[in-house]
A = this chain, B = another copy of it.
Amino acid sequence: MGISDRKEREKEELKATILKAAHDLFLEKGVDKTSIRNIADKIEYSPGIIYHYFKDKSEIFHALHQQGFSMMNDRMVPLFSVSDPMERLKAMGRNYVDFALQNPGMYDLMFIKVTPMDHIQDEGIEKWKEGSQTFNGLRTTIADCIKAGYFKDQEVEPLAYMVWSTVHGLASLKIRNRCEVVNPDYQNTIVEQGLECMYDMIDPS
């Protein structure tokens, strides 16, 4: 049975090669401008081969989408060693924004692009597991904050969604070039300052 094992392994290898090429290409040129033929050229195979490893283009994007969440989770996990929940919440916020600005292509796919969510719904992937996991980290931290006496009279779920919305807004408006309306003196630091501003709102000292 060693042969079929090796074949299985080789299949996985080519699949990984395709994913890596796709990843590199769309970090370099953007998701929209990366074509199947571009990927095929990069790995020096014919375009058709890709359809033996992925159902369609959106399945490739979905795979990268998952990789992105695993990257983000890897960065979030260490923060759970921060015992003060408010400090942890702030650290998560900064971490989120930093991730977005350092990996705009990935962030785009994870939180802005339509495609990967379409795929999730089409395939009936009922629970968007990676996303739920990340959101749950936020939910838990906010629940901890409430237990610690912060956010009087607030519910966890709307609060978590609002905090997420704020950091997503800060990052995505920047990524999608909507910050031109901001006073030029603030352009370079506006995301950072906006984040600090959120800190002051959720934790008036």
Contact = CB atoms under 8 A, between A and B. Distances in A.
Interface residues of A, number: 53
A120 B181 CA distance: 12
Q: Is the interface of A mostly helix, strand, loop or mixed?
A: helix
Given A158-B186, A159-B197, A176 B114 contact: yes
Copies of chain A in the complex: 2
A158 B190 contact: yes
Contacts of A46: none
A112 interface: yes
Interface string A194-205: 111110111010
Interface pairs A-B: 7 shortest CB-CB: A165-B169, A169-B169, A158-B193, A135-B181, A168-B169, A117-B177, A162-B194
Interface of A: 32, 111-114, 117-118, 120-121, 127-128, 131-132, 134-136, 153-155, 157-159, 161-162, 164-170, 172-173, 176-183, 186, 190, 193-198, 200-202, 204
